[in-house]
Chains A and B, each alone.
Chain A
Amino acid sequence: MGLEQKLGNMGVVTTTLETAINWGRTNAMWPMLFGLACCAIEMISTVMPQNDLSRFGMELMRASPRQSDLMIVAGRVSRKMAPVLRRLYDQMPDPKWVIAMGDCASCGGIFNNYAIVQGVDEVVPVDVYVAGCPPRPEALLYGILTLHEKVKRETMKDWA
């Protein structure tokens, strides 16, 4: 944001502005449709009426990276898929966050072999890791809420 570069630190004006911006960012963070494997099914279950994700404003899963804020890497990332993942992450505009959902995205999971990237943080920087194989929809919701807490603590300098 150019505003942040120009304003600098103006004390109480910037802190209330930060709170307003972070409130706006958390209340309607649009996830990108990046379900790869089994965790994708639990991600779809999170959007479904039983565990409703649209109460957080996030039911709109955009397939295009240019229109989304949050990438939930749900599933195992193979070596063939890793350059594609990096490319999509680069195509997302700032501000962007990444949730590594499931054991395979966090650390390689039960697949410790030649074909799986051992943790998606080798490819993209991750903000929140959600454990589970696959994590329950409630666990994913808790991970998303943790991300919201993290975003609310951000300052203007983080995205300048």
Chain B
Amino acid sequence: MTHAEKTVAALKEKFGDVIEQVIHFRGETSVGVRPEGVIEVLRFLKESPDLRYTFLANLTAFDDWPEEPRFNVIYQLREMSLPADFRVQVRVHGDAPELPTATGVYLNANWHEREVYDMFGLTFTGHPDLRRILMPSDWQGHPLRKDYPLGYEEVEFTFNFKEIEKKKPYAKE
């Protein structure tokens, strides 16, 4: 039994009601969890003596707008001695974008959660220092959401050169 299969079996036994689905894709295993149970699942995966997923490799999110629930938060965990990877996914609805923080379980989730807050607008309740990290502190909006525009500038060709030149701000002195 691989470590991933052992993990899935242990999770189904202990947290059967919070597990929504199990995905096997390209040799990787990931488990979908409901938002209310995610911190207990992470703590169990880290502290259980057979499973020992002590390293948080990655914490990120992606947006499935306009499908609901739109946010999909990913926790990539690693067991260091084998080593073996495992992924936990949480789907969060767009009307109530919040999750409990994972900094109590994994210390390095701190800046990852700040980045997810900055880019997607998901608040993590209980985070010690939740403020914007990559954008300026007075920026409006959350850039990586799918309904946020890319913000590109139109390319100047000869046919629209004069209109764009009138609007483009140049520094005089």
Contacts and interface: CB of A to CB of B under 8 A. Distances in A.
Classify A-B as touching or not with yes or no (CB < 8 A): yes
Interface stretch (B13-21, B44-52, B57-65, B150-158): B150-158
A137 interface: no
Interface string B161-172: 000000011111
Interface residues of A, dominant DSSP = loop
Interface size band for B? 10 to 19
B67 interface: no
A122 B153 contact: no
Given A112-B152, A114-B150, A118-B153, A125 B172 contact: yes
B153 A108 contact: yes
Contacts of A92: none
Interface in B65-110: none
A125 B171 CA distance: 5
B121 to A, nearest CB: 15
B171 A80 contact: no
B5 interface: no
A17 B170 CA distance: 33
A115 B153 contact: no
Contacts of A125: 170-173
Interface in A34-92: 79-80, 86
A122 B143 contact: no
A112 B136 contact: no
Interface string A91-126: 000000000000000001000111100100111110
B171 A114 contact: no
A28 B169 CA distance: 33
29 contacts: A79-B136, A80-B135, A80-B136, A86-B171, A108-B153, A112-B150, A112-B153, A112-B155, A113-B150, A113-B151, A114-B143, A114-B149, A114-B150, A114-B151, A115-B135, A115-B143, A115-B151, A118-B153, A121-B170, A121-B171, A122-B168, A122-B169, A122-B170, A122-B171, A123-B171, A124-B171, A125-B170, A125-B171, A125-B173
Interface of B: 135-136, 143, 148-153, 155, 168-173
Given A80-B135, A122-B169, 9 more contacts: A79-B136, A113-B150, A113-B152, A114-B150, A115-B143, A115-B151, A121-B171, A123-B171, A125-B173
